[in-house]
Amino acid sequence: MWLASDADGIPVGSVFLRLFTTPGQKHYAEMALHVHPSERGHGTGTLLLDAAAHAARADGRRSLVAQTEPGSPGARFLTARGFDEAARFTFTRLNLADADLPALTAIADRPHSGYRLSSWDGTVPDDLADTFALSRRAMDDMPMGETDYGTVNWDVDRVRAAAAAVARRGDELHTVVAIDEADGSVAGFTELVVPGDGTGEGQHYGTGVLPGHRGHGLGRWMKAAAVVQARTRYPDLDALRTDTADDNLPMRAINDALGYTPTHRAVHYKLDLSPH
């Protein structure tokens, strides 16, 4: 993190740089830069950007990504300084009070030949841990525009550590999976995090189906089951939120079919840090 202050020592802006350490993402860095509106136009943002880009380049990163709203001052700032648009994302929300529970239940209860649903709270059960970790590869080819996001190498330890991190925050992690009945392996998954007190809004984390199991409607099946469980178990929960890359057409279709409606949009911009 870098903090920019004026001549009187008053903070006027900041930038946070995230350097990923997993083997499949060591080429990549994310930046969150903010300058107080009344202080813009005086070079503070450029000063902060230069510090973050220099640090990312010195650490061997080849791309730096930042997110902002389309058409915003941040978008104009980034494009003026060499960032290219990499991907657009749509954020959506399902108001649980208005959700069509009978229709969602019908989707969740519909049999899918060769598959069955299973679910758990918190950490994955031991008997599913290995294939659940392997199922995370379903996210490797998720459409993400030109973000150069790379891949995350999931193993059982990482899966369990992620669940433990959610629990330490006081939130609850719920997972629904589709299991291939031929061998008992996890073919796809969807994750939902709910505030520990069961109020407010839940957040979908990831949904994916392994390539060999796509085309059977498993994504919609699992996500509908997750919504029904949340609606039934948390009567005081207001809504569920998710975000999807605009070019991820299958997931956008699932969200639309389940009743999610757009709330806002964001653009990911990318700066090439490679030496020229």
Per-residue pLDDT of the chain (276 residues; tens, 9 = 90+): 999 999 999 999 999 999 998 888 889 899 999 999 999 989 999 999 999 999 999 999 999 999 999 999 999 999 999 999 999 999 999 999 999 999 999 999 999 999 999 999 999 999 999 999 999 998 887 766 677 777 778 899 999 999 999 999 999 999 999 999 999 999 999 999 999 999 999 999 999 999 999 999 999 999 999 999 999 999 999 999 999 999 999 999 999 999 999 999 999 999 999 876
Q: Cα(80)–Cα(77) distance, rounded to whole angstroms?
A: 5
Phi-psi region of 43 (alpha: psi -120 to 50; beta: other; left: phi over 0): left
Q: Tell me if 264 sits within 8 A of 242, measured CB to CB.
A: no
DSSP helix/strand/coil, 93: strand
Phi, psi angle pair for 112, to nearest 5°: -125, 110
Tell me the two tokens of residue 121.
């709270």
Q: How many residues does the chain have?
A: 276
Phi, psi angle pair for 10, to nearest 5°: -85, 125
Domains identified in the chain and CATH numbers: 2-91+268-272 (3.40.630.30), 95-260 (3.40.630.30)
Phi, psi angle pair for 140, to nearest 5°: -65, -35
Q: Tell me if 38 sits within 8 A of 44, measured CB to CB.
A: no
Q: What's this model's pTM, rounded to 2 decimal places?
A: 0.88
Q: How far apart are the first and last CA of the chain?
A: 27
What's the pLDDT score for residue 25?
A: 85
- Provide the CB-side half-sphere exposure for 78 (13 A, CA): 27
What's the pLDDT score for residue 34?
A: 96
The β-bridge partners of 180 are 115, 185
What's the pLDDT score for residue 274?
A: 83
